[in-house]
Amino acid sequence: MRHIIRNIAIFDGTGSGLVAGAVVVENDRIAAVLHDAAAIAAIEADNVIDGQGGTLMPGMVDSHTHLTWGSSVEKIYHQFILPPEELKVAAWRNARVLLDHGFTSLYSAGALGDQIEPELARAIEAGETPGPRLVPSTLERSPEGEEGVETGDVFNGRGPDAMRAFVAYCAAEGVKSLKLVISGEDALKPGSSGDILYTDEEMLAAGEAAKEAGLWIATHAYSPRAIELALEAGARILYHCSFADDAAIDAMAAKKHEIFYAPGPGVSVAALEASPPPHINMTSMKASAAERLELEKALVPKLKARGVRILPGGDYGFPFNPHGRNARDLEHFVTYYGFTPAEALSAATMLGGQLMGQQVGRVKPGYLADLLLVDGDPTQDVRILQDANNIKMIMLGGRMHKSPAAQPVTA
């Protein structure tokens, strides 16, 4: 199947400005990006799509996804932990909701139930259910007896051998990235963000075992020591890092070609905006969110200037921060971190594709045809991506998830 998408302005993912042209898709990949009118006119295709002056861009990547955090713009849950059967329903729904909103790739930051995400990833790949490309995970691993993060679990006890056993379990299950909670969480237990929940030996054992098994590691890390442990273990992506000092910044910059960083502003902004009912006390969460955002206003530009790859992904799935609002992170990158709209888009596409380890996130020959046709110019205003109605076409691997509206036939 050959498609040609023409009469478009192309955002290629690199952060460069829009360029007029056309894109040819053959089967699941981009075959050509054309800018010459004669070359465009000469192309024969099974399907011709007139972009009507819209922006063609890569599908977006969410780098910090919790599909089993149930709430979405389609269904809000007022409890966080769901029964197992509803947890699966919510995860399947949320995958489709995110694809509906232009996210064609997801990197999991952990789940509330075991085996759910590997099963979902297989179902998506088999075409049994709609959803983005997914790097699946399992329960976040939090050491026993710690109260800082209550959404995780412990596998196989404590000590280096237990960490190796956990990695082996993940590999056998089909997990691609395991989530280690190294720091506490002030939003749940005030003052715990400086707590270190693993020993040096445990983290090193996890890193060695993951490397041997070909798995990636994602880490919840706030403090300088937690960041240091994550880097020593060979983590692929670090979340939060809000309390990083100059030494931690230097350490992250030294590994800028090996790591990714996702500060996660979405949940902070949403927490500050939230108006909970009287019986829900968000005082600690709001205080933590305000502190983190203020710190990150200084931290993120420093890391960006040092060349660290910084990605959107903001802990969506809470009732006050539901799935489907994930594109708000792009606005937060502009508002709080000083990114230009084009830089924020590049973080959500090209850099996210690098995190996924697949040929996604670029409009470039040979890359997978994960493409969005947008009504308007998101390089001028990223907020237009927050309205799914502005996304006129969603293509995943050359297949239409959302087709553009039928165009009038002229005599």
In this structure, is residue 54 part of a structural domain? yes
CA dist., res. 352 & res. 354, Å (int): 5
Query: Which uninterrupted H or E stretch holds 275?
Result: none
Tens-place pLDDT, residues 172-225: 999 999 999 999 888 778 888 888 989 999 999 999 999 999 999 999 999 999
In this structure, is residue 376 part of a structural domain? yes
Q: Are strands 216-221 and 177-181 parallel, antiparallel or unpaired?
A: parallel
Query: Tell me, what's the pLDDT at 144?
Result: 54
Query: Tell me, what's the pLDDT at 108?
Result: 98
pLDDT confidence of 107, banded at 50, 70, 90? Answer: very high
Q: Above 50 in pLDDT, residue 296?
A: yes
In this structure, is residue 306 part of a structural domain? yes
Task: Tell me: do 113 and 132 sit in the same domain.
Answer: yes
pTM across the whole model? 0.95
Q: Which residues contact 296 (CB under 8 A, 6 or more apart)?
A: 242, 263, 265, 336, 337
Average pLDDT over residues 360-389: 98
pLDDT confidence of 80, banded at 50, 70, 90? Answer: confident
CA dist., res. 318 & res. 320, Å (int): 5
pLDDT confidence of 409, banded at 50, 70, 90? Answer: very low
* Residue that is written with structure tokens 């995190």 in the block: 355
Task: Tell me: do 53 and 64 sit in the same domain.
Answer: no
Task: Tell me: do 250 and 298 sit in the same domain.
Answer: yes
CATH number of the domain at 297, please: 3.20.20.140
Q: Are strands 2-10 and 399-402 parallel, antiparallel or unpaired?
A: unpaired
Query: Tell me, what's the pLDDT at 186?
Result: 81
Task: Tell me: do 243 and 161 sit in the same domain.
Answer: yes
In this structure, is residue 265 part of a structural domain? yes
Q: Which residues contact 161 (CB under 8 A, 6 or more apart)?
A: 205
Q: Above 50 in pLDDT, residue 10?
A: yes
Least confident of 71-75, 113-117, 405-409: 405-409
Name the residue with higher pLDDT: 24 or 314: 24
Within the chain, how many helices (H) and strands (E) appear? 12, 16
Query: Tell me, what's the pLDDT at 299?
Result: 98
Q: Are 251 and 268 a contacting pair, CB within 8 Å?
A: no
Q: Above 80 in pLDDT, residue 155?
A: no
In this structure, is residue 257 part of a structural domain? yes
pLDDT confidence of 106, banded at 50, 70, 90? Answer: very high
Task: Tell me: do 27 and 123 sit in the same domain.
Answer: no
When the pLDDT of each residue in the chain is averaged and rounded to a whole number, the result is 94
Task: Tell me: do 157 and 72 sit in the same domain.
Answer: yes
Task: Tell me: do 31 and 100 sit in the same domain.
Answer: no
In DSSP notation, 219-243 reads EEE-SHHHHHHHHHTT-SEEEE-TT
The neighbouring-strand residues paired with 122 are none
Number of domains in the chain: 2
Average pLDDT over residues 48-61: 97
In this structure, is residue 340 part of a structural domain? no
Domain encompassing residue 207: 60-326
Sheet holding 237-240, edge to edge: 177-181, 216-221, 237-240, 260-262, 309-310
CATH number of the domain at 41, please: 2.30.40.10
Task: Tell me: do 9 and 125 sit in the same domain.
Answer: no
Task: Tell me: do 284 and 371 sit in the same domain.
Answer: no
In this structure, is residue 353 part of a structural domain? no
Tens-place pLDDT, residues 316-349: 999 999 999 999 999 999 999 999 999 999 999 9
Query: Tell me, what's the pLDDT at 187?
Result: 79
Residue 157: Cβ within 10 Å count: 12
* Residue that is written with structure tokens 């729904």 in the block: 93
Task: Tell me: do 242 and 389 sit in the same domain.
Answer: no
Tens-place pLDDT, residues 133-151: 999 999 888 765 444 444 5
Tens-place pLDDT, residues 237-289: 999 999 999 999 999 999 999 999 999 999 999 999 999 888 888 898 899 99
Query: Tell me, what's the pLDDT at 154?
Result: 66
Task: Tell me: do 249 and 174 sit in the same domain.
Answer: yes
In this structure, is residue 338 part of a structural domain? no
Task: Tell me: do 45 and 113 sit in the same domain.
Answer: no
